[in-house]
Amino acid sequence: MPSQCYLGVDLGAESGRVLAGILEDQKIRLEEIYRFSNGPVPVAGTKRWNVIGLWSSILKGLSLAAQKYGDRIISVGVDTWGVDYALLSKKQELLGQPYHYRDPRSEGMLNLAISRVPQQEIFDATGVQFMEINTLYQLLSMQQSDPELLSQASLFLLMPDFFHWLLSGSQVVEFTNATTTQCLNPLTGDWAYELLSQLGIPTAMLPKLVRPGTKLGSLRDEVMQQTGLSKIEVVAPATHDTASAVAAIPTANTGTPNWAYISSGTWSLMGVEVDSAVLGKRAFELNFTNEGGIDGTYRLLKNIMGLWLVQECKRSYEREGSELDYTELTTAAAEAEPFRSLVDPDDPRFLSPVDMREEIKGYCEETSQPVPETPGQFVRCALESLALKYHKVLDWLEELTGTPIEVLHIVGGGTKNELLNQFTANSCQIPVITGPVEATGLGNVLVQARAAGAVSSLAEIREIVRNSTETRTFEPQDQSDWSAAMQRFNQLLDAAT
């Protein structure tokens, strides 16, 4: 088969990329065409996404791709983070600049929601982990503070669906990202209309849901003119970036729950792939989430704060004029004293801190631990704490599925942190296989290839990834040291409950 090109637009919390996936002879090669920055924009005391700026950057990337690959391009699709959304009026005007999930407007909304609907009932209706950043609480905040603007909304689109609308005019929401909202019922596969009605959230704006791999239509004429692309298809990949990443995990065990994954980056999303949502009292008690995957599967997972702790420590030093890069910080962490200080990465104080180092200091002071002082001590605290939280979540996954987990796959940008990878193997006491770094982009373009008929199944997608990428295995070490640290970590978690 001659080579085919599929374009993936991958938008993350810190940057966005336009990627070209070149498929030939059962191998995929991913090329970065254009990279651009992303992040929250402060606007009058709020945090917003600059979606117009992102769209301008996407167009530039698509133009560069058209110049290089021309008629070889088959389709384009967008993946992003979850929960955030855009609203359009009846005349398809954008209603306001979309909020960033770290904006404080949703603070207190979870408590308001459960004062109206019992928390167990919300979980039974959605199967989603309780986090105040969830779309459900963002919409509830809007219903409380700006009901007039909300009433003007004719169309609700999650972020990737908004960019698909800009590309093709499609007015649908793709399933995998919809499952992050806490507004979808995993048993019906449709919006949780009854729950939303109980909370006073309008539902007429909610569009049709579609599955990964759905062809959404061809490019708008003006997009073709602006980019030089031909009338290619716009295809919904697994539009939640973690769903795309999990689709590209190079496991040969598709269909069995004896392997787990971490999509590692700003957030660590850790879970297993199951045939149906795992609901019930224990999943509710452990605050797990069920997010959609390929072929109707679910990702039973836990959102963990991830390398956000390290990123924010780095920014804290930068504000003081210290330009330490990630390599220097990790090297300093490797040389620091083991297990000096531990934190729960998911403590709410770390979600949107003014200064991450000050919050870590405060946590350690309150728990009678040595306060980190050096860059190495701060970063080692963050990395060891993450690895211990992974162990905790792994135990819970085995409990919920009833299946021992034999291997842990780590994909995404976090695979570059070899110290964290080794800590994770040590903590979990199972082999850790890392790679590919570009799992999200690979999953995006290969789902498009499947929509075009060039790939037949999820198992084949993963086989192509195995054929095309390198992985590395980290074997467990230092079992006794990590077991003792796990006891300390459990005591910290127990004391906080």
Q: In angstroms, what CA-CA distances link 197 with 193, 200, 344? A: 6, 5, 35
Residues 473 and 435: beta-carbon distance below 8 Å: no
| Separation CA 5–CA 29 (nearest Å) | 10
Residues 85 and 17: beta-carbon distance below 8 Å: no
Q: Which residue do the tokens 């950043």 mark?
A: 133
What tokens were used for 272?
């297993």
Which of 437, 412, 407, 433 lies closest to 421 in space, CA to CA? Answer: 433
H or E element at residue 119? helix 119-126
Report helix, strand or coil for 178.
helix
| Separation CA 27–CA 460 (nearest Å) | 11
Residue 306: which residues within 8 A CB-CB, separation 6 or more?
264, 265, 266, 267, 268, 345, 386, 414
Bin 25: left if φ > 0, else alpha if -120 < ψ < 50, else beta: left
Q: Is 241 in the active site?
A: yes
What tokens were used for 274?
């199951």
Options 79, 84, 103, 241, the catalytic residue:
241
What tokens were used for 112?
């308001």
Report helix, strand or coil for 346.
coil
Using alpha carbons only, give the angle 167, 168, 174 rounded to the nearest 5 degrees.
90
Alpha helices in 320-452 (DSSP H): 326-335, 356-366, 375-401, 418-428, 439-451
| Separation CA 132–CA 4 (nearest Å) | 42
Bin 99: left if φ > 0, else alpha if -120 < ψ < 50, else beta: beta
Which residues are bridge partners to 291 per DSSP? 299
| Separation CA 307–CA 389 (nearest Å) | 13
Residues 396 and 346: beta-carbon distance below 8 Å: no
Which of 118, 480, 82 lies closest to 245 in space, CA to CA? Answer: 82
Exposure letters 346-383 (e unless 16+ CB within 10 A, then b): bbeebbbbeebbebbbebbeebebebbeebbbbbbbbb
Catalytic center residues: 241
